[in-house]
Structure 1
Amino acid sequence: MTQNALAKAAGISASYLNLIEHNRRSIGGGLLMRIAEALEIHPHSLSGSEESRLLSDLAEVASDPVFRTTPVESREFPAMIAASPGMITAFLSLYRAYRSGLDDIDALSERLSHDPFLTEASHSILTRITSIRTVAEIFDDYDDLSRDQRARFNATLVRESQRLAESATEIFNFLERGEAGRPAASPAEEVDDLLYDNANHFPALEDHANKMRPVIDPDGGLYLTDLINYLEDTHNTRIERRPSEDFLTSGYQWDAKNNTLRISRALPITSARFQAARTICRLEAADPINEILDRAQIGSKAGRVRASEALISYTAAALLFPYDLFLDDARRMRHDIELLQQRYAASWEQICHRLTTLRRPGAEGIPFHLVRTDIAGNISKRFSASGLQLPRYGGACPRWVVHEAYTAPERVIPQFVRLPDGSEFLFVARALRSGAGGYGVPRSVHSVMIGCDTAFSNDVVYGDRLSLDRPESAVPVGISCRQCPRDDCAQRAYEMADGTPKTAKK
């Protein structure tokens, strides 16, 4: 398509389109939609989100100590992506494989140190090697051995060699059974890629949920009782409420063979309702979910299973929290998550998740990011539409409020932060406890953080009590310690990418 033809289709002048093509004008809203429609591509392909994601991943990779002697300049990244996007994607895949290999080495080392079988097998191998070496040294040092002595030592050498081979074979068989190898991309990374590639918005699932909703409950309530009655009447599904001690991890279990949903009596009603909705979506939304998975670049069976579960949850959220109504309520309540919880009988995490999916072109909500961590700092969920780079290969900055939230579980904590590049964000985090049982039964704790660029702070209630108009009040943060250029952080865990030791910091 010529420049003039595209400009005419988009309703702008050719000179203005020329400025857009040379990155001298930014676009959004209706103009972005018109250009994308004229080019017959997804709007998010033009929004810069894909390039932003590649820049984010490259910045994190470049901070790895492996590049210390051959530093990669971040200012070169945009030109590299523009010139060879395929090569950059291949480079990131190679780095993933490298990190996966390091993880495998660490895992095998840990197993070798603590697994009783491997410890015993390693000792056996060392013993056989010592015996073989001793016999070899005897042959080398003594030329006057008698025939009987030489035959006896030869027999020992053969016997110990056979035992060495057997011990080595047992170890390799054990490691193969333990599935020591892994693909370059883990199932979690494959799901992350699926969400990013689709901007965490799946129109086919939204449409399917809209069709399901009036069939399940014409009144639109979709209370737990409505969902259970529908499962029992339409799908002949058995619902069992079980004691909490019957569940080792989560408070629910889907038994496909017996068409039974088992729910813990200790599971909160918001979670029980969501699991009932997930079960309906599992049974009725398989076709659109499989179509999405067939188009996705998921190479492993485990990744496909994990992605399927994520899309089932997405459909359940679309079912319980209708897009247009939820978006209107979120705007009216200024994204007060607790008010939205009350309005939709949902949990904090469910509401946060739904807010990140409001990315329908032409009817978009605030571009949020979301992170969930456990108390050890491991990131178990991550998505960003706000422009904030989220670490893929390590833990997040220790100054992020997602960690501070653990000091006051169930309390909502907002935070105003500034990154080294000057960008400012509003963070909101809350630590949540899940699971319940009798005395002494451990409960899991994790923290969920949602946030956005401060440009949207007037539409988010959590910015009201923060001094967003005073830049000096912002908490100076980074992405991760290895990437962070700040030299005045007392919480640095790793040396900087330039090799400066952390002990040299203030």
Structure 2
Amino acid sequence: MAATLAVSTAYINLLENNQRSLSVQMLVKLTESYGVDWRDLLKEDGGARLADLRQALRDPLFRENGPDLQELRSSLDHAPGLADAFLTLHGAYRQLLEKMMWQKSKPRETELIITSPESTIHDFFRRNRNHFPELESAAEKIRYDVAFSVDDTYGMLKSRLSQRFGVTIRLGTIAEIGDSLRIYDGSERVLVLSEALDHQNRVFQIAHVLGLIEATDTIALYMERAALPEARGHARLQAELANYFAAALMMPYEDFLSAAETSKYDLDLLAARFGASYEQVAHRLTTMQREGALGVPFFFLRVDRAGNVSKRFNATSFMLAEHGGACPRWDVHAALRTPDVTLPQFVELPDGERFFTISRTANRPVFHRAAQDRRLAVALGCEARHAQRIGYAQSFKLDDPDLYAPIGINCHLCPRKSCALRAHQPLVMDLPLEIGRRGSTRYES
């Protein structure tokens, strides 16, 4: 084989033992020399499964003597069934741990093993890297058909719904529709938008309904692929896919990515240029995962003042994106004290993963005086190595040894010692406690 491929026998040995990657040139030689289909030589999900294994083994449960990268690759090649079983077992362990942590009362045994529709839908979006090409194409087709600009988006969308589908759009008063943002009656073909919505959100809600009507088949295709185990999650998934369509319609992929790269991901500029809100832009940035036209791989979280994560989208495999949001050292919580001010921050998790994050408040519609100050905090994050592409990071000295703030996922799982903000005894370790000495927290001397 070495002679046929014009390489050394040592190189063949390295390939066989997964110590060298298969280059394009070598792939072509193998195809030409042995008549094999190159697709049979590549495992499409190999990279994702390797990332999943590495992520699982960062769990503090395995903090000592974990397998190295070569061992992980070998396990995928020589014992893929065992690797899958391990990931399934670890996933079940994490779900059980999370449910036990957050149950306020003693649950019934069956409640511990039920996966919520929200978790299933989140996993579906993550498996697709938060990118849905068919919905992008459906939105782009409408943009090309109508050829409208940002300043007349609202009127053009209203006209399309009215002229093509006979849908009447009107504003509803708070007294009429209460705290509903949108009510669409498909049988009567009437769309009522709340008067409490600002312009950007009125456009978004119209685009959402247009997606439900005009991209019905595409949305149904993805819902079939998702194969949700329970019917109670179908409406939620349909709503999330229609939201995706609305964002793609308001912020077309190529134009949006070009503007993002040119402006170094200036979210305020992007919001102004595309007639969108800050939160809509932040969410849209997580979907820039088209093959051949990749943006920065962001994850997105939205938290309330109590630290609850009310929205999470993730095109990555990072632990912070999947389970983070409860650490008080992270500036996503400080953002609530400085409304409308963007807070950039470099952070490091206990396992050594490093990220650059951007946090800022997002306002919710106010319906009456009793509903004031309903701010939420929105955070975007990416691997620290992408920070050079982002303008918010330019003022930092990247070689500063104190650049990274030490944060955790939450206190239950954080192994950091001597943290003055610790609120819970960690489940993954025992902290030393002496009766004669008071440390920085009540959990540690």
TM-score range normalised by the length of the shorter chain: 0.7 to 0.9
- Residue 75 of structure 1, aligned match among 62, 66, 74: 66
Contact 2:208 2:246 (C-alpha < 8 Å) held by counterparts: yes
Contact 2:55 2:317 (C-alpha < 8 Å) held by counterparts: no
Structure 1 letter corresponding to 2:51 = S
Structure 2 letter corresponding to 1:336 = D
Q: 1:300: how far off?
A: 1.2
Which stretch of the first structure deviates more once superposed, 328-337 or 358-367?
A: 358-367
Structure 2 letter corresponding to 1:498 = M
Quick one: distance in 1 between partners of 2:192 and 2:185?
A: 8
Cα shift readout 1:48-67 (whole Å, capped 9, x = no counterpart): 3443345435655x66xxxx
Q: 1:443: how far off?
A: 4.9
Contact 2:298 2:314 (C-alpha < 8 Å) held by counterparts: yes
TM-score (norm 1): 0.72
The residue aligned with 2:298 is 368
Contact 2:56 2:87 (C-alpha < 8 Å) held by counterparts: no
Q: 1:244: how far off?
A: 3.1
The residue aligned with 1:337 is 267
TM-score (norm 2): 0.81
Over 3 Å counting, the alpha-carbon distance change for 1:108 and 1:486 in structure 2 is: closer
- Residue 295 of structure 1, aligned match among 209, 220, 225: 225
Contact 1:97 1:184 (C-alpha < 8 Å) held by counterparts: no
Quick one: distance in 2 between partners of 1:23 and 1:220?
A: 51
The residue aligned with 1:280 is 210
Percent of aligned pairs with the same residue?
31
Question: Which runs of structure 2 are paired with 1:91-102 in the superposition (5 Å)?
Answer: 91-92=89-90, 94-95=92-93, 98=96, 102=100
Contact 2:283 2:313 (C-alpha < 8 Å) held by counterparts: no
Over 3 Å counting, the alpha-carbon distance change for 1:183 and 1:260 in structure 2 is: farther
Which stretch of the first structure deviates more once superposed, 219-228 or 343-352?
A: 219-228
Cα shift readout 1:213-272 (whole Å, capped 9, x = no counterpart): 222x22444611111111111111121201234444442222233222211112011111
Quick one: distance in 2 between partners of 1:17 and 1:309?
A: 51
The residue aligned with 2:147 is 218
Structure 1 unaligned residues grouped into runs of 5+? 64-70, 110-174
Structure 2 unaligned residues grouped into runs of 5+? 31-36, 433-440
In the alignment, does 2:168 pair up with 1:238? Answer: yes
The residue aligned with 1:455 is 385
Contact 2:346 2:357 (C-alpha < 8 Å) held by counterparts: yes
Contact 1:227 1:277 (C-alpha < 8 Å) held by counterparts: yes
Q: 1:457: how far off?
A: 1.7
Quick one: distance in 2 between partners of 1:188 and 1:257?
A: 28
Quick one: distance in 2 between partners of 1:31 and 1:289?
A: 39
Greater Rg by CA: 1
Structure 1 letter corresponding to 2:431 = T
Contact 1:242 1:263 (C-alpha < 8 Å) held by counterparts: yes
The residue aligned with 2:442 is 503
Contact 2:297 2:382 (C-alpha < 8 Å) held by counterparts: yes
Over 3 Å counting, the alpha-carbon distance change for 1:387 and 1:380 in structure 2 is: same
Over 3 Å counting, the alpha-carbon distance change for 1:75 and 1:246 in structure 2 is: farther
Contact 1:58 1:92 (C-alpha < 8 Å) held by counterparts: no
Structure 2 letter corresponding to 1:499 = D
Q: 1:294: how far off?
A: 1.0
Which stretch of the first structure deviates more once superposed, 419-428 or 402-411?
A: 419-428
Q: Report SS of the residue matched to 1:324.
A: helix
Q: Report SS of the residue matched to 2:357.
A: strand
Contact 1:214 1:220 (C-alpha < 8 Å) held by counterparts: no
Contact 1:335 1:461 (C-alpha < 8 Å) held by counterparts: yes
- Residue 88 of structure 1, aligned match among 64, 86, 89: 86
Structure with more of its chain in helix, by fraction: 1
Structure 2 letter corresponding to 1:266 = A
Over 3 Å counting, the alpha-carbon distance change for 1:402 and 1:265 in structure 2 is: same
The residue aligned with 1:169 is none
Which stretch of the first structure deviates more once superposed, 192-201 or 50-59?
A: 50-59
Quick one: distance in 2 between partners of 1:305 and 1:74?
A: 45
Question: Which runs of structure 2 are paired with 1:171-250 in the superposition (5 Å)?
Answer: 184-215=114-145, 217-221=146-150, 223-250=153-180
The residue aligned with 2:312 is 382
Quick one: distance in 2 between partners of 1:385 and 1:32?
A: 30
In the alignment, does 2:29 pair up with 1:39? Answer: no
> Cα RMSD over matched residues?
3.7
Contact 2:350 2:414 (C-alpha < 8 Å) held by counterparts: yes
Over 3 Å counting, the alpha-carbon distance change for 1:337 and 1:104 in structure 2 is: closer
In the alignment, does 2:234 pair up with 1:321? Answer: no
Quick one: distance in 2 between partners of 1:96 and 1:259?
A: 45
Quick one: distance in 1 between partners of 2:227 and 2:54?
A: 20
Quick one: distance in 1 between partners of 2:120 and 2:308?
A: 17
Q: Report SS of the residue matched to 2:328.
A: coil
Over 3 Å counting, the alpha-carbon distance change for 1:283 and 1:423 in structure 2 is: same
Contact 1:414 1:429 (C-alpha < 8 Å) held by counterparts: yes
Contact 1:329 1:340 (C-alpha < 8 Å) held by counterparts: yes
Over 3 Å counting, the alpha-carbon distance change for 1:491 and 1:211 in structure 2 is: same
Aligned residue pairs total 420
Q: 1:351: how far off?
A: 0.9
